[in-house]
Copies of this chain bind each other. A is one copy, B any other.
Amino acid sequence: MNNETKPFSFKVPEPTSRPGDEPDFTGMDIPAAGSVRRPDIESSAEDMKDMARTMVRVLNRDGTAVGPWADPDLSSDTLLFGMRVMLKIRAFDHRMLSMQRQGKTSFYIQCTGEEAISVAHQLTLSPGDMNFPTYRQQGLLMAQDYPLEKMICQILSNEKDPLEGRQMPCLHSAREYGFFTLSGNLGTQFIHAVGWAMASAIKGDTRIASAWIGEGAAAENDFHSALVNASVYKPPVILNVVNNQWAISSFRGIAGGDHATFAERAHGYDIPSLRVDGNDFLAVLAASNWAVKRARRDLGPTLIEWVTYRAGAHSTADDPSKYRPKDESDAWPLGDPILRLKAHLISLGIWSEQRHIQAEAEFSDEIRSATKEAEKSGVLGEGSSRSAMFENVYKEMPDHLVKQQQELEN
């Protein structure tokens, strides 16, 4: 019946540029700040599909906040706090990278370029809410003044490591801070967040969940099971997809994000979604607030695609110059979140170049001394207890583990 055939070709998407090429972001559609509408939080998914193919942006080129997503009531305190936390994270990441080079930790993951997302998002959550993070959301903890030393002790797997050396560096767990135990397995936490939010709904609670996943990991199947369950039971959960363009060496096209957006994935599940400039602190704050309000009002899940760029290496085990142009990060059209907020703060008259430099120095000092303090409890696994290995496998140690522990001790 169909004779109009031709031999098929196999198509593998390629990024616009590879090492040696000029970075090229010309294909990226970036609406002007302030140009995108702000739907009512009661809008149905169907009524706001346009939001998934555009980008919510608040900060203008000149650093002013414009458009319907700009919040006139935003306090200087919040903005300054956000700035300080982002600076702290950057200093922290910097320090930890050198710790790794010095052999004091086996591994580290930085979030450079993506700080605004987790920091601003956390500012919209309340105590009792629960994040289900990936390894690049140290900002969720930092924004709550999580003790630096404790964080470093985890990274050093030392005597004071709250996880007693069981987990790789950066895979924190902090229930008190609404920070779910990190899995080394990509994607699994996305459905946990949905289940947690379902539980909150079942109990008539008022606490919400916030789930995190990278654009690469959004290809994992747990993404689907999370969206299906969120679609069916409409629990109070925010589904964050951090699209930082790269998943180790694979660009977003290998995750199916070359033509459709990750925000569009929500539509097939009747879930409203937003696509947001993730390097715009004010846009992150505004969009998170919007989704948090929806959830609190029991209007159900929201998916947010945060558009950003992984400015650093994937981890200390990675060398990005092998698969993308060295200067691609500089060419990234959404800029750096710290510099953009800085411009805004300066335009508001509440910050200056000098205070910026001063703050950088302060954090560098604070982190240096926290590091020194932490190192006293050991580096690279020093001081971790052998017996901790057998504990917490079960609530009570079963006989066979008791015997195995004895076997080790003898």
Q: Interface centre among A200, A231, A266, by most B CB within 10 Å?
A: A231
Does A225 count as interface, using CB distance less than 8 angstroms?
yes
Q: Contact between B236 and A256 (Cβ–Cβ < 8 Å)?
A: no
Does A235 count as interface, using CB distance less than 8 angstroms?
yes
Q: CA A49 – CA B268 in complex, angstroms?
A: 11
Q: Contact between A9 and B201 (Cβ–Cβ < 8 Å)?
A: yes
Q: CA A402 – CA B155 in complex, angstroms?
A: 53
Cross-interface CB contact of A219 among B4, B44, B228, cutoff 8 Å? B228
Contacts of A5 in B (CB 8 A): 206, 296-297
Report the count of interface residues on A (CB-CB < 8 A): 64
Contacts of A219 in B (CB 8 A): 225, 228
Q: Interface centre among A222, A264, A268, A298, by most B CB within 10 Å?
A: A268
Contacts of A222 in B (CB 8 A): 221
Does A408 count as interface, using CB distance less than 8 angstroms?
no
Q: Contact between B206 and A232 (Cβ–Cβ < 8 Å)?
A: no
Q: Which residue of B is nearest A300, CB measured? A: B11
Contacts of A53 in B (CB 8 A): 46
Does A258 count as interface, using CB distance less than 8 angstroms?
yes
Contacts of A205 in B (CB 8 A): 7-8
Chain A 370-389, CB within 8 Å of chain B: the 1/0 string? 00000000000000000000
Q: CA A126 – CA B221 in complex, angstroms?
A: 32
Does A26 count as interface, using CB distance less than 8 angstroms?
no
The list of the 7 closest CB pairs from A to B, nearest first, reads A265-B268, A224-B224, A221-B221, A231-B256, A260-B270, A259-B270, A7-B204
Chain A positions within 8 Å of B, measured between CB atoms, are 1-2, 4-13, 44-46, 49, 53, 123-124, 126, 198, 200-202, 204-206, 219, 221-225, 227-228, 231-236, 253-256, 258-262, 264-270, 289, 292-293, 296-298, 300
Chosen A-B contacts, 29 in total, with CB atoms closer than 8 Å, are A1-B126, A2-B292, A4-B297, A5-B206, A5-B297, A6-B206, A6-B296, A6-B298, A7-B204, A8-B200, A8-B204, A9-B298, A11-B201, A12-B233, A44-B259, A46-B53, A46-B260, A219-B225, A219-B228, A221-B221, A221-B222, A221-B224, A224-B224, A232-B253, A232-B254, A232-B256, A260-B270, A265-B268, A268-B268
